Each structure stands twice: as C-alpha cells, then as structure tokens.
Structure 1
Amino acid sequence: MTTTEAPRPAIRPERESFRPVLRAEWTKFRTIRGRLIGLGIAVVLCTTFTFLVANGTHEGTCTGTGSTCQSGHPYVATGPDGEAVADSYQFVGQPLTGNATITVRVRSLTGVTSANSTDTAPSLAHTRPSLAAWAKAGILLRPSTAQGSPYAAVMATGAHGVRFQYDYTHDQAGRPGTVSVASPRWLRLTRTGDTLTGYDSADGTAWTKIGTAHLAGLPSTVQVGLFVTSPVSFEGSGSGFATQATAAFDHVSQGARGAQGTWREQSIGVQDFYPKLPGGGYHRTGGSFVLRGSGDIAPAVVEGLLGTATPSSSVLTGLIVGLIAIIVVAAMFITVEYRRGMIRTTFAATPRRHRVLAAKAVVVGGVAFVVGTLAAAVAVPIGEHVLKANGAYVFPAGASTMVRIIAGTGALVAVTAIAVLAVGTIVRKSAGAVTAGIVVFVLPYIVGSSMSGGAEQWLFRLTPAAGFSVLGALPRSAQVDYPYTLANGYYPLSWWAGLAVLCAYAALALGVAAVTLRRRDA
C-alpha cells in the first residue's frame, strides 16, 4: 500500500525577512556622504544658535519689589529633589526631640490683598480685605528652618479646606470649608521616627487621618511650631498682587517630653525672591497666638515673577534650526530614490513595500534620535553655563528632569524625522516634502510662540507643536494659583502628552504613506 504524504505548507520567514531589508536601508543611509554631513550640520547649528541666544541674554538685576539679589542673582530656594521652591512664611516654634503629638485649634484666618501689583512697591497702606485661596496656617515640622529643607505640615487654607502637605509637591485634602469663629479647625501632627501623620477635627475630640509622610533621615531634634503664609494672588489676570494672612491659634499642646526652651519667632524667607506685604509678626497672649505673614511654601513659579530662564529655554532656536536640517535629510532619504528611479530596484528586491517603509522609518528615526540627543546633551549645558555667566537666573532642574529633556529632544527629532519620511513617500518630491515638513512640524511652533491666549494654547495642544512640550522644565502645581502660560515658560500639555500628539501625527502620516505605496506604481 502506497501512502502519499500531504505537502507541507511553505513557511514564510516573515520575521527573518525584515532584517536584511533593515540592513540594506542602513547601508543606503550611511554610504551617502551628504546625509552624514547633514546630520553633523544639524548638531552644529543647534549648538551654535543655542550659544548665540544664551549669549544675547543679560539679566544681571532682579525685578519685582521685595526681591533681593546676591551677586546679581535672585535667591530662590532649592527643594529636596533639586526643584526651585517658594519657602517663605512667619513661624513661631521651638526645638523638639523625639516622637511627639502637636495639637492646635485655628480659631480664625483672615487676610488682605495689595492694591498694587508686584511690579510696584506693595504697602499695607494700600490693601483691601481679601483672603488668598492658598493662604495657609497650621503646624509645621522640619529638620531646620533653612529654606528648601524637607518638611511636613497640616494646615487650614483660605479656600481649599484643611490640607496635609510635605516636601513642596505632595498634597492631601482633609476637611473642606473655611475657618471662622463659628467653625474653627482643629489640627494635629504626630511624629513617630521618620513618619509624620496629619489629622483634623471639628471639635478636638473625633479625629480624622488626612495623610502620612516619610521624611528619610529626619534627625532626632527637629523644629516644630505654628506658621502662616499667604501667596501672590493673580485673580485671573497676568498681574500678581501680594497678600498677607492673619491666623489666630489657641489650645496649643505638645504631647511629648522633648520640647526645649521658649517659643521663638522667625520670619523665614525675608531675603528671597517672593513678593510679600510688609508687617509680618507674632503676638502671644497666654495660650493664644496670632501670626501675620506673606509668602508661600510650594513649588516656585519664578518664571512669571522674575522673568527667568530654564535649562532648555535657550535651546529652542537652535533646535528649530537643527530640526530643519533633519527634515531635509529625512525627506531626501526616500525622495532621492524616486527622483533617480532607484525605488523600482528597491521594490523589486523587496516586493512587500510596507517593509521598505518600516525599515526606512527605523533607520531615519534611530539616527535622528541619536543626533537629537547628542545635540541636546551638548547644547543644554552650554546654554545654561552662558546664561549664568551673563547674570541670568536659570530655573533649577533636577537630574531626572535634565535627562528627560535631553532624551525627549531626541524623541522629538526622531518622531519628526519619521513623519517627514512618510510625507516624502506620499509626495515623492524633495522640495514638496521639505516644505510640507517645515510647514506642518516647525511653523506651528513659530506661529504659536508669537501668539497669546486661547489660540496659543490650542496650537500647542492640537498641532505637532505639542511635541515641544518635552522641553518643559517648569512643573505645574495645583497648590499654586498662577496663570500657567507658554509666555511664562509653561506648556499646556505634559511632556508625555505633547509627545503623544506628535506621535499620532507621525502614525497618521505613516498609515497614509503605507496605503499610497500599495496603490501607486513605483
């Protein structure tokens, strides 16, 4: 009996077949000297224009009343993570050793607002009754009163209820509502080693936990006490108005044996950049304390208050110019093959045209990422050094932020290069692809930077200009009432959301290019 073995289906090496295509496209790219020269030009242009912009920036004096300069620079505190912070308040406290439970009742919280903006001298003689929404009064514990040091605090606020905050960026909500004589707020802060916990109560009997903070390395002896502060109020406008809050405390108790010495009053941050109303102080009658103070304990927004620079601000012009050079290289990676007729040979060797497009995208995207990252790694430190040498204050950024900006610049350049490659595949003409790349991926940023208001915001949300959000070095904070605008250095989207918008445009362009390749002759 003869048996016939059924023919085995041919195994198509789908995955294996992409590697030689990728290798072939990489060989095409690196063997054309003009492309490598173009990449070098992009790095040189980015670095050169960054230097020129930074060298043309001179801000050797402070602006804004209430600010002081040290060697031509405003003093801005740096927080535990290397970020710029506002850290100014009125404080009355004492050293405390060991674990503790501190309790206080905030009996009232009132405030005034200057009639003059922070561009002119704020004076108590020209104020009106008004309590800032983020005015704060409560219990504060920190290793020292040095500005920028770690802290934890439980507090009543002007319009955001009771909050438990620590290390400038962490915030947890407690009991809502405002403070009044008829509705006081009881606050409690406990320390157990490095762990601090905030509580609030309506009557001083039933307590509700708000949140917990762990301050690593907290020394045995710390500073603890009462504080009050009141930030600049923008009231929906671009102009800031200094404010002052007055808080009345009573029923102060410290459930610990480590209290040392008498209560000591301190005005923290008198010499820093933050605009304040004068006249802060402290008064004690028996077990009651009254504190008046201005300032804030929160992430700094000195960009708007002092017109500062950021580590990435001087890179923008250089990046735009360098990006145009990358656009030319990316467009010609495909259009030259069409112009010379080489694309027919490419498709004959690789009939699956989408593989060719994918390989070209990987090559040009990878090369652009390396070039963009290298350019940023060179240009950002140069720009920051020159700005500081010229007397400009540079908003500090932590190491993680700097790495994100540099890598984000590489990603911005890479995604743009891939998108322009897709555009070149669609239009097939070098001039058309380069023009379209500049108009779609560069022009929106240039136009948006010269606009203001809602139009500017929408351009940087909905167009490829959103990708420039990767350069944002200034953090937003829900704890600060501030008009975060692009003019003040704040992008409307987070860095990852802005990059996602750019990636969506690139994906759309690649999709259209893939369909076009299948439907058109070479």
Structure 2
Amino acid sequence: MRAEWTKFRTVRGWVLALAAAALVIVLLGLSSASGSLASCGAGPVESACPAVPVGPGGEAVEDKFFFVHRALAGDGGITARLTSMTGEIRKPDVTPGVRNVVAGLVPWAKAGVMVKESTKQGSAYAAVLVTGAHGTRMQHDFTHDVAGRPGGVSRDAPRWLRLTRSGDTLIGYESADGTNWAEVGTARLTGLPATVEIGLFAASPGDLTVTQGDLGGSVSASRFTEATAVFDQVALSGETSGGWRDDDIGATKAPDGSAHHPGRAGRSGGTFSVTGVGDIAPSIEGQTVERTLTGVLTGLIVVIVVAVMFITAEYRNGLIRTTLLAVPGRGRMLVAKAVTIAGVTFAAGLAATWITLTFGTRILRANGNQILPVSQLTEVRVVVGMAALLAVAAVLALALGALLRRAVGAVIATVLLLVVPHVLATTSVLPDAAARWLLSVTPAAGFAIQQSIPEYAHVLGHYAPLAGFYPLAPWAGFAVLCGYAALALGLAVVQLRRRDA
C-alpha cells in the first residue's frame, strides 16, 4: 500500500489529472446551476415562484383538494356514505379551438372523509377514501398508503367510510352496508392538536400521458381533470363547532384574484356534492439536489483515464517486473493498487460532490428555483454515494487495464460499460423499457445512488431514467456496479498469476 501510494503521488500528471476531475465536477455543476433560471420570474426575488408545500416528514407535497369541513375538538369521528364518483378529463383537442372533455376518472382520483390538522397546505392528515381505479385506501401524511377493498362505487353499490380519532390515533373503516365494518388502517399523527378539521373531500390529479418517440425516448404530458363525489348519511361524533365550511385548499390564483380551475361543493338536505381538482400526495415534479452534479459524468471519464494509466503505465515502461520482484504476491499488488486508486478517487470525489451540491443548490434557489426538499440523510447518501461511485469506477477501470494491458482499449471498454449506457438511457435516444433494462444489467446501474426522490406506488408519474428515476433502488444499483468491479478485479488477479509480467 505504501509503495503504491508513493507511486501515485510522485507522478505529477496523475495527481493533477485527478484534481482536474474534481475541478471539472465543481465548475460544470455550478455553471449549470447558474444558468438555470426559474421560468416564473427568476432573479434576486426568491418569492417569484410559489413555495413548494412541505409535509410533516419534510418532503415536498401536492396538497390541493376541495374540503367541506367543521372543527372537531378532542376525540370524535365522521361516517359518510359515498354513492357516486364521477369525473371529467381534458383530452387533446381533436378540432382546433374545440375543447375535448370526456367523462371519466383518472386512476388516483380520490374522495372520502378526512381529519386534517388545519387547512394549511402540508399539515398532517389522515383520510379514508375511494379512488378511481385502486379501490378503498387509507392514506396519511402524504407518503403513507394502505389498500382496502378493491372496486368503485355506484348508487347500486355505495361505499360507507368511517374515520375515528382518539388522541393521536386515527382508525379508518369501510363497509358495504353501513352495518358490517372492516378496518382499513391505523395512523398515528404525533403532535396532532386538540382541535382539528374533519369533513369530506375530493381531489383529482392530472391525466398523465406518455408518448413514445419514433426514434426512441418519450414525452410526458399532464392534463386537467376533476372528480365529483356525492355523499349522504353524513354523521359526526364528538364535539364539533360552527357550520360546514368550504375550502378550496391550494387553489391557484389567476392574475385577477380568482381561482384557476376551482373546486366546488353543493348541499341539498343531507346530501353533499364535492368537486375537487389536484392531489394529496408527495410531489415528484421539480428540481432535485442531484441535478447539480451534472459534471460528474465528465469527471468520471478523467478518473477512468487516470485509473487505467495507474496500471498500464507499468506495463508500457516495463516497471511491472520491478514491482513484482519487490512484491511477489501478484494478487496483493493488484489489490493494493485498487485500494490506493479507490481511496484517492473517493477523497477527491467527496470534496467535489459536497462543494457542488452545497453551493449549487444555493445558486439554484437564488435564481428563483424551487428544489424538492430531502432529508439530511438523503443528501449525505447522494454526496457520499457519488464519491463512492467514482471510486468503484476507478477500480473497474484499473481491473480492465490489468486485463487488457493497453490503455486505449481499457479506457474505451470502461466507457462503453459505464458511461455510454447511462448517456443512452438518460437522453431521448432509447424507449423507456430499453433504458430501464440498460440501467439494470450494466455497471451504469450504479448511478441510481444519486436518486433523491423515490417512486411512490400511489402517485402516478413518468418514472423513467429520462426523468431521473432509476429501475433499481439506490444501494441495489450501486451493488451492481460493485459486482462488476469485483468480478473484473478477480479476473485480473487470476490472469496476472497465470501470465508473465
């Protein structure tokens, strides 16, 4: 180890090249952040873009729905029968200038009963609801979703919903007849205030369509939808106060102050009709922290060249014989080289990714961009994970250099295995299925380590590499890259032991 470290630090070109790789990551990342200006009014005024609501867990959320509610003090609950759920979807116009609106519900349209901390966007809540195509669910605090009975509702087959509160514990129930009840789920909302809002709601996220290009890639579009739910036999228990109030939570305001695509509600006797737009779910749209690391791919190519040269230079000038005379254990020598190049690359990459992410996100915010918030643990995983990716990639390049013993061939092989699949998968070149396959079976799967916003089963989204979503979980993808590096290093050790230097 000492000998290999001495070799590396005494070759000035290698040290400068690795420093240049780190500098490239920083400069390209900060330059990209500087050029990203918010379309809704970037500049020195950060409030030009509306703030993204943040849920109880610190994640960005969509919290837009129509709420018919009353105040509940202490324990209590709500029971309601949902007799109808219909909707409208705005489709692309067939005839220019003629609105094309069709009847129907999107799969995650939702309506039901809710207890919410307050009418503030992002506040804690629990709800029992029926969806457009996923049956009854109990959801709380945006990220939690539990499935109940499948199926929809109609006048011939209504769905009874019940939500009860006891302290911080909320329990959701469903019934087909209002007599026999089945528990759907339980939520514990720590810190729920004594007085909360309880009532009926409806929401409908956009209709997502993904169009595949003729030559590959895809384009997604989301169009306006709304859902209308009809409730009757509404009963409240506990200490409620005031009359029923209507709130269009999160309604977007037009320049004249009116609501853009507003929801609405109507009451006739004991029957409530509630129409809502929007969604109550985690947000997956917007700038992410890993967008600042655009320079990593360029820096990675420099790292690959340095790692290959670290082994092939000794074959080219014949110094490998001297090395093996000093260290007869050929496997030990190669492993020592791998540890050395991985260590120095990790250190340089860690500094570069930390600087880039820290200052890049600040620049983005200063330019009016809203960045989807993530936990500190996730930020650490992105920074450390990308540094580790550079280090493992260096080991892979070193191993291929030892196998091929030619610098050009080893560099090309590493780039073809690691860089090219990632570029093909994350640009508009391949169909989504092919892109996911590439990022599952090639070393490029390791780039999943940078994904900061997860996929949510109860949120309809364009979960494709082009949109920043990888087919494997972060550490699973990184494990694939490590597997390739370990295999290549093992083969290189076997070959080195069997062949002359």
CA distance in 2, matches of 1:165, 1:248: 20
1:222 aligns with 2:196: yes
1:86 aligns with 2:83: no
Q: 1:240 aligns with which of 206, 214, 222?
A: 222
1:260 corresponds to: 241
Q: Letter of the aligned partner of 2:290 in structure 1? A: S
Q: Is the 8 A contact 1:353 1:518 kept in 2?
A: yes
Q: Percent identity?
A: 46
| Stretch deviating more after TM superposition (416-425 or 455-464) | 455-464
1:61 aligns with 2:35: no
Q: Is the 8 A contact 1:60 1:72 kept in 2?
A: no
Q: Is the 8 A contact 2:46 2:365 kept in 1?
A: no
1:361 corresponds to: 338
1:190 aligns with 2:164: yes
1:51 corresponds to: 30
Q: Is the 8 A contact 2:248 2:262 kept in 1?
A: no
CA distance in 1, matches of 2:34, 2:46: 21
2:290 corresponds to: 312
1:447 aligns with 2:424: yes
TM-score (norm 2): 0.90
**Displacement, 1:247?**
0.5
1:213 aligns with 2:173: no
Q: Is the 8 A contact 1:76 1:272 kept in 2?
A: no
Consecutive aligned runs of 4 or more in structure 1 exceeding 4 Å deviation: none
Q: 1:107 aligns with which of 80, 83, 91?
A: 83
CA distance in 2, matches of 1:140, 1:373: 45
Equivalent residue runs for 1:384-403 within 5 Å: 384-403=361-380
CA distance in 2, matches of 1:497, 1:202: 42
Q: Is the 8 A contact 1:246 1:292 kept in 2?
A: yes
- The structure where strand makes up a greater share of residues is 2
**Displacement, 1:389?**
2.7
2:401 corresponds to: 424
Equivalent residue runs for 1:337-352 within 5 Å: 337-352=314-329
Change in Cα spacing, 1:449 to 1:133, as seen in structure 2 (3 Å) is closer
**Displacement, 1:269?**
0.9
SS of residue matched to 1:263: strand
Deviation sequence 1:263-318 (CA, Å, 0-9, x none): 11100011289xx983521111222211011110011132xxxxx432211312x1
**Displacement, 1:521?**
0.5
Q: 1:202 aligns with which of 172, 176, 184?
A: 176
Change in Cα spacing, 1:70 to 1:345, as seen in structure 2 (3 Å) is closer
Q: Is the 8 A contact 1:75 1:272 kept in 2?
A: no
Q: Is the 8 A contact 1:85 1:299 kept in 2?
A: yes
| Stretch deviating more after TM superposition (164-173 or 76-85) | 76-85
1:324 aligns with 2:301: yes
Change in Cα spacing, 1:235 to 1:434, as seen in structure 2 (3 Å) is closer
Q: Is the 8 A contact 1:39 1:371 kept in 2?
A: yes
CA distance in 2, matches of 1:452, 1:145: 44
1:291 aligns with 2:267: no
Say what the alpha-carbon RMSD is for the aligned residues: 2.4
**Displacement, 1:191?**
1.3
Q: 2:125 aligns with which of 139, 151, 155?
A: 151
Change in Cα spacing, 1:70 to 1:367, as seen in structure 2 (3 Å) is closer
| Stretch deviating more after TM superposition (283-292 or 155-164) | 283-292
SS of residue matched to 2:439: helix
1:305 corresponds to: none
1:518 aligns with 2:497: yes
Query: What are structure 2's unaligned runs of at least 5 residues?
Result: 212-219
SS of residue matched to 2:252: coil
1:334 aligns with 2:308: no
Deviation sequence 1:87-122 (CA, Å, 0-9, x none): 1000011111111122111111111111348xx99x
Q: Letter of the aligned partner of 2:342 in structure 1? A: G
TM-score (norm 1): 0.87
1:271 aligns with 2:239: no
SS of residue matched to 1:41: helix
Q: Is the 8 A contact 1:242 1:277 kept in 2?
A: no
CA distance in 2, matches of 1:456, 1:329: 29
**Displacement, 1:462?**
2.4
Q: Is the 8 A contact 2:21 2:302 kept in 1?
A: yes
Q: Letter of the aligned partner of 2:266 in structure 1? A: H
1:251 corresponds to: 233
Q: 1:467 aligns with which of 432, 439, 446?
A: 446
Q: Letter of the aligned partner of 2:279 in structure 1? A: D
User: How many residues are matched?
Assistant: 483
Change in Cα spacing, 1:98 to 1:51, as seen in structure 2 (3 Å) is same
1:10 corresponds to: none
Change in Cα spacing, 1:37 to 1:483, as seen in structure 2 (3 Å) is same
Query: What are structure 1's unaligned runs of at least 5 residues?
Result: 1-21, 63-68, 303-307
**Displacement, 1:321?**
1.7
**Displacement, 1:405?**
0.9
Q: Is the 8 A contact 1:74 1:272 kept in 2?
A: no
SS of residue matched to 1:483: coil
**Displacement, 1:235?**
4.6
Q: 2:413 aligns with which of 401, 415, 436?
A: 436
Q: Is the 8 A contact 2:403 2:491 kept in 1?
A: yes
Q: Letter of the aligned partner of 2:19 in structure 1? A: G
